[in-house]
Amino acid sequence: MEGSLPRHLCHVQKSSAIINRFHALIHSTALIALIYYRASFLLQNTDTISGHTPIIPWLLVFAGELVLSFIWLLEQAFRWRPVTRSVFPERLPEDKQLPPIDVFICTVDPKKEPTLEVMNTVISAMALDYRPEKLHVYVSDDGGSSLTLYGMKEAWEFARSWVPFCRTHGIKTPCPKAYFSSLEDGDGSEFLGTEFMAERRRVQIEYENFKARFRTASQEGGIRNESMSSPRDHPVIGADQVEMPLLVYVSREKRPSHPHHFKAGALNVLLRVSGLISNSPYILILDCDMYCNDPTSAQKAMCFHLDPKISPTLAFVQFPQRFHNISKNDIYDSGVRSAFSILLEGLDGLQGPILCGTCFYIKRVAFYGSFIQDDIDILKLRESFGPSNEFIRSLGQNYKPSVSKDGNSLSTIQLQETQLLASCSYENQTKWGKEVGFLYQSVVEDYLTGFIMHCRGWTSVYCNPSKPQFLGSGVTNMNDMLVQGTRWSSGLFDVAISKFSPLIYGPLRMSILESFCYAYLAYFPLYFISVWCFGIIPQLCLLNGIPLYPK
């Protein structure tokens, strides 16, 4: 009976869909009347032609109204068929039958991204409720910081106590900082005996010692690595790998003469290196400040990935981003509440949500496009994936990584191969960043990569449990908000005017409503035109007695 029960359910919000469609009908009627009024005035009014009524204010306001109408029309696609989902991880097969998972965490600058916070994210990922031999955590240090390397070693030492403690007592908050700083933490309440409290106290002391050692190392600049010259000019850096779960430190080679493509480039390096070491079929990608808040997120994602009805076309399972440092007022909307409460639920009722850059479990083969067919020539594979024969072998379904689980490091040959995969020149004359892996054509690599996946026929789902599966740090000041908003807006509009414009490239490759949703995000930066027009023109016209609306 358990095998026949569904592992997830999809609930269509029929009442919301009906109300949304009725509202769209009424609103569109009003917009048509407004546009007709503007057009008829500009084309037929003799006062305008003779010059008694200035035409420029009318044109500017009309342009603002057209832009708002265009954006509003695209937005209605989100409200066409909103859905919610329920998952039943208890109906999954035994843990030993679940597939392996790789976890990717990227960091760059320890000054902007405090290394202690990054290590808490790393430790929380290692403490996921998953079989240790099937969990592999990869950290990309794009700044080549000796402090981050030192933090990795210290985090591993502390995790050797923290991970068994979490699994023994069923701790529900896998991040040590969040667990120990919580004033009302019910984790392990059923074990509140002398033995549990003593072990908790011991682990807490170890955590305080871990933080103290790290603060000391921070003041001393971490550990020295004489081969490093600067965060933008350094060779490949490697560290010992360890098991239970596997923890891998990767710092790719970066040279000023070679473009590094920021986060997308770092993730593609992790994709190649992990393919050689663990080659797990599923990957969890996290921002360095987005720690795991629930140890069962992997099981929830597997409820979808292991469903034979949707799994063949399912690329990724997206979880919402939640933040622990935002006040209830949230005056800058750092929590992006409308996106994760309305937009993604609407997308989920179509072909699936967009790729949000973090908090998602994705299928590895979704990154490889159509280049891993059984009958494809080896030379074509090399043209697409680069010169590494070992990595090309990893593309096969029967490939088994040869990394020893009882050793603490890679063999010399394997280490040389991973250094080749992480070199700055490896992607030259290949399809990486163009058709393979995360795409480089925009600074919003997550949006563009997810869009192309959907165009290739992949689908996605949105899973929003009541308890946040991941918690991160949101922006809390105007400067950071403007920097972040500028990056998003410029990247999205860059896609809008490129050959991948959702309204041109999308409709022939995906549903029209899904392409409308992508277009809404891409063209939303044009909103500034309406803001400026309505923030200036009507007030000036009022002061000068220029009519803009019917009496």
Q: Is 96 annotated as a binding residue?
A: no
The reported pLDDT for the residue numbered 379 is 81
The reported pLDDT for the residue numbered 402 is 63
Q: What is the CATH number of the domain that holds 431?
A: 3.90.550.10
Q: CB-based burial of residue 229 (10 Å sphere; 0-12 exposed, 13-18 middle, 19+ buried)?
A: exposed
Q: Is 109 annotated as a binding residue?
A: no
Query: Is 233 among the residues known to form the active site?
Result: no
In a domain, 328, yes or no: yes
Q: Say if strands 360-363 and 282-287 run parallel, antiparallel, or are unpaired.
A: antiparallel
The reported pLDDT for the residue numbered 243 is 47
Residues pairing with 412 in the sheet: none
The reply to whether 320 and 272 lie within a common domain is yes
In a domain, 550, yes or no: no
Q: Is 445 annotated as a binding residue?
A: no
The reported pLDDT for the residue numbered 240 is 43
Dihedral Cα 273, 109, 448, 462, nearest 10 deg: 90
Q: What is the pTM of this model?
A: 0.91
The reply to whether 100 and 40 lie within a common domain is no
The reply to whether 368 and 252 lie within a common domain is yes
The reported pLDDT for the residue numbered 399 is 80
* DSSP string covering 252-313: --B-TTS---HHHHHHHHHHHHHHHHT--SEEEEEETT-EES-TTHHHHHHHHHT-TTTGGG
Query: Is 142 among the residues known to form the active site?
Result: yes
The reply to whether 137 and 72 lie within a common domain is no
| Helix (H) or strand (E) run with residue 69 in it | helix 55-75
- Which residue of the set 102, 141, 142, 348 is catalytic? 142
Give how many domains the chain has, as a whole number. 2
The reply to whether 49 and 182 lie within a common domain is no
pLDDT tens track, the chain, 551 positions = 455 789 999 999 999 999 999 999 999 999 999 999 988 888 876 555 555 678 889 899 999 999 999 999 999 999 999 999 999 999 999 988 999 999 999 999 998 899 999 999 999 999 999 999 999 999 999 999 999 999 999 999 999 999 999 999 899 999 999 999 874 455 545 556 688 889 999 999 999 999 999 888 888 765 544 444 455 565 555 444 434 699 999 999 999 988 999 999 999 999 999 999 999 999 999 999 999 999 999 999 999 999 999 999 999 999 999 999 887 777 777 778 888 989 999 999 999 999 999 999 999 999 998 666 655 677 888 889 999 988 998 888 778 776 555 445 567 777 889 999 999 999 999 999 999 999 999 999 999 999 999 999 999 999 999 999 999 998 888 888 889 899 999 999 999 999 999 999 999 999 999 999 999 999 999 999 999 999 999 999 999 888 888 77
The reply to whether 216 and 325 lie within a common domain is yes
In a domain, 496, yes or no: no
Q: Is 94 annotated as a binding residue?
A: no
| Distant-in-sequence, close-in-space partners of 517: CB < 8 Å, separation ≥ 6 | 74, 77, 78, 343, 346, 347, 350, 354
The reply to whether 175 and 68 lie within a common domain is no
Question: Residue 350 and residue 205: Cα distance in Å, rounded?
Answer: 50
The reply to whether 45 and 142 lie within a common domain is no
In a domain, 156, yes or no: yes
| Helix (H) or strand (E) run with residue 481 in it | helix 478-496
Residue 96 DSSP label: G
Q: 137 with 245: CB under 8 angstroms?
A: yes
In a domain, 1, yes or no: no
| Helix (H) or strand (E) run with residue 61 in it | helix 55-75
| Distant-in-sequence, close-in-space partners of 59: CB < 8 Å, separation ≥ 6 | 42
The reported pLDDT for the residue numbered 336 is 83
In a domain, 509, yes or no: no
Q: Is 113 annotated as a binding residue?
A: yes
The reported pLDDT for the residue numbered 317 is 98
Domain limits at 164?
89-222+241-403+412-456
The reported pLDDT for the residue numbered 184 is 47
In a domain, 232, yes or no: no
The reply to whether 104 and 44 lie within a common domain is no
- Which residue of the set 102, 289, 294, 446 is catalytic? 446
The reply to whether 173 and 62 lie within a common domain is no
Q: Which amino acid is at 224?
A: R
In a domain, 432, yes or no: yes
The reported pLDDT for the residue numbered 102 is 97
Phi, psi of 378 (to 5 degrees): -65, -35
